[in-house]
A and B are shown apart, each in its own frame.
Chain A
């Protein structure tokens, strides 16, 4: 559809001799959160990395905001308006929180009003502003990684497993932050924590063996335990 912000058609990705993505078809409308679910090794992280240009697609097309971005260098894809929060968070450990944020503001100095908004979303960052990122806790690093992605307005956020290894209290705080974030941007979220995904997601795509095997509204998946069991081997009630 013409109004889709992101569209992947028949995307294949090889990493060395391994054929990871085997024809991914995925469309993201503008706004809201689309959650990418699937078992370990289904190809979720590779999908995000392929969109970001960190792996080059071996076949297929990737369209973003009306232009083809498949195979472009990563900096060009970032400059097109996509921000990426990797599974590893990849904060610059030797740099302070402030320096991490200064680098994230690529096109202009950090905007004061936007920074205040980010501090309201993640108050810890203000407190630890001059602290090297390497000494932050896992949850604080995750907040910084997300804050870095939104330091300037971006059209699409790709966020890979933000709750992995994070304390429940911080996950609760993150739900509030994501609720607010999705009002200003479109988010493609890879998540293993189904309860977190279900509480945030507007749409869902489920991957298996390098393909998208299901697309639909998150509410429909949450309501259909049989579908959950078939696609993910779990149900919301048993996956706390």
Chain B
């Protein structure tokens, strides 16, 4: 006998206790959202000049969005499968090098005085980087991550090893010298409003970051796949007990996360206009600070952490350059003393 497709339509059994249920109070936690605003406002009088402050803030937002692109995949990978992937930086570097390779033959489009051709070249390079790093991520998960599930120490060692191997492979394929990564013509320079100069590429980076964040939040909150990812970050075992194959979901998230790291690498290399094999490893310190500050596994926290880290890095680099290197570590310490699980901790089983 199998269970009937529809239940009996009988009324609730007589004599059932009547329970007065009160609506639980949902606490809305906006305090972390106010942090970047507070930081920016606090920096205004210290910077002293409104136009400099705007330039610094836009530069910080651009930097924050690029860090977010890289960090969002990593935080989901950790949240979903408890995997510490120190090799994530490899995808940043390889993404940037793939873009460099694609942009070479498209140099006519890159140097053309046409925004359409410039963006087409950049779009193709970014797409190739995302596909390339996504595929590489799939192979990385199969070959390197899969044998060490549930073993954090081995994960750290083997993924660090993966990063080193990837960097050496870059030297073999593309050479060990520093490469120039020129911005397309239409993205060079700045829009000037009075004393305020807003660099075009930074505005593009902000736009790309915001679009990716919006799409990610839409997918996570409005689709069943998104619900599964959020549920899996909380309790992967229960997701499996509901009949879903979490491993497939994880591989998908790993591929998307690697692709986003590749996109972040392209943007980061264009932002710096130079490229070395160590570009990924260098950025990873900031990325790890961001995902710890945001709360491991939290995409919203990761976004906020990226903005906070970038704002603080830019303001301190301008105001107290000697403190700039330590500023983000100090930020992380302060946040963790306030909220030991990060700004928006994910409820774990």
Of B3, B17, B237, B245, chain A has the most CB atoms within 10 Å of the CB of: B3
Near B by CB (< 8 A), chain A positions 26-43 give 30-31
- Contact A120 to B11, CB < 8 A, known contacts A127-B21, A153-B5, A170-B19: yes
- Contact A180 to B244, CB < 8 A, known contacts A94-B234, A155-B3: no
Give the chain A neighbours of B243 by CB distance below 8 A. 75, 78-79, 106
28 pairs across A/B with beta carbons < 8 Å? A75-B243, A78-B243, A84-B241, A92-B230, A93-B234, A95-B227, A95-B234, A99-B227, A100-B231, A103-B228, A103-B231, A103-B242, A103-B244, A113-B7, A113-B9, A117-B7, A132-B26, A134-B347, A135-B25, A139-B19, A148-B242, A153-B3, A172-B16, A172-B17, A180-B12, A183-B8, A184-B3, A184-B7
Of B11, B27, B224, chain A has the most CB atoms within 10 Å of the CB of: B224
Please encode chain B, from 224 to 236, with 1 for each CB lying within 8 Å of some chain A CB and 0 for all others: 1001101100110
The distance from the CB of A78 to the nearest CB of chain B, in whole angstroms, is 3
B238 within 8 A of partner (CB)? yes
Select one of A132, A135, A173 contacting B19, CB under 8 A.
A173
Using A153-B4, A176-B12 as known contacts, list a sample of 17 further A-B pairs with CB atoms less than 8 Å apart, ordered by residue number in A.
A31-B1, A74-B240, A78-B241, A86-B238, A95-B234, A103-B224, A103-B242, A113-B9, A114-B7, A135-B27, A139-B19, A153-B2, A169-B17, A170-B17, A170-B19, A184-B8, A185-B3
Near B by CB (< 8 A), chain A positions 130-151 give 131-132, 134-137, 139-140, 148
**In the complex, are the beta carbons of B16 and A173 less than 8 A apart?**
yes
Select one of B2, B16, B234, B237 contacting A54, CB under 8 A.
B237
A124 to B23, CA, bound (A): 9
Give the chain A neighbours of B7 by CB distance below 8 A. 113-114, 117, 184
The distance from the CB of B16 to the nearest CB of chain A, in whole angstroms, is 4
Give the chain A neighbours of B322 by CB distance below 8 A. none
Give the chain B neighbours of A137 by CB distance below 8 A. 24
Give the chain B neighbours of A92 by CB distance below 8 A. 230-231, 234-235, 238
B194 within 8 A of partner (CB)? no
A183 to B6, CA, bound (A): 12
Give the chain B neighbours of A114 by CB distance below 8 A. 6-7
Select one of A84, A102, A135, A173 contacting B24, CB under 8 A.
A135
The distance from the CB of B252 to the nearest CB of chain A, in whole angstroms, is 15
Give the chain A neighbours of B8 by CB distance below 8 A. 117, 180, 183-184
A176 to B13, CA, bound (A): 6
A94 to B26, CA, bound (A): 11
Q: B26 — nearest CB in chain A belongs to which residue? A: A135
**In the complex, are the beta carbons of B227 and A128 less than 8 A apart?**
no
A140 to B20, CA, bound (A): 12
A30 to B1, CA, bound (A): 7
Near A by CB (< 8 A), chain B positions 3-43 give 3-13, 15-17, 19, 21, 23-27
A88 within 8 A of partner (CB)? yes
Give the chain A neighbours of B6 by CB distance below 8 A. 111, 113-114
The distance from the CB of B250 to the nearest CB of chain A, in whole angstroms, is 13
Select one of A140, A155, A173, A183 contacting B2, CB under 8 A.
A155
Give the chain B neighbours of A75 by CB distance below 8 A. 240, 243-246
A111 to B15, CA, bound (A): 28
Of A31, A52, A94, A111, chain B has the most CB atoms within 10 Å of the CB of: A94
A78 to B240, CA, bound (A): 8
Please encode chain A, from 100 to 120, with 1 for each CB lying within 8 Å of some chain B CB and 0 for all others: 101110100001011001001
B346 within 8 A of partner (CB)? yes
Give the chain A neighbours of B13 by CB distance below 8 A. 176, 179-180
A121 within 8 A of partner (CB)? yes
A86 to B349, CA, bound (A): 11
A139 to B227, CA, bound (A): 24
A31 to B3, CA, bound (A): 9
A154 within 8 A of partner (CB)? yes
**In the complex, are the beta carbons of B224 and A136 less than 8 A apart?**
no
A104 to B5, CA, bound (A): 15
The distance from the CB of B238 to the nearest CB of chain A, in whole angstroms, is 4
A3 to B238, CA, bound (A): 30
Please encode chain A, from 4 to 44, with 1 for each CB lying within 8 Å of some chain B CB and 0 for all others: 00000000000000000000000000110000000000000
A81 within 8 A of partner (CB)? yes
A135 to B25, CA, bound (A): 7
A94 to B23, CA, bound (A): 17
A223 within 8 A of partner (CB)? no
A90 within 8 A of partner (CB)? yes
Give the chain B neighbours of A169 by CB distance below 8 A. 17, 19
**In the complex, are the beta carbons of A136 and B240 less than 8 A apart?**
no
**In the complex, are the beta carbons of B12 and A127 less than 8 A apart?**
no
- Contact A102 to B3, CB < 8 A, known contacts A75-B244, A94-B347: no
Give the chain B neighbours of A78 by CB distance below 8 A. 240-243
Give the chain A neighbours of B235 by CB distance below 8 A. 90, 92
The distance from the CB of A75 to the nearest CB of chain B, in whole angstroms, is 5
The distance from the CB of B101 to the nearest CB of chain A, in whole angstroms, is 40
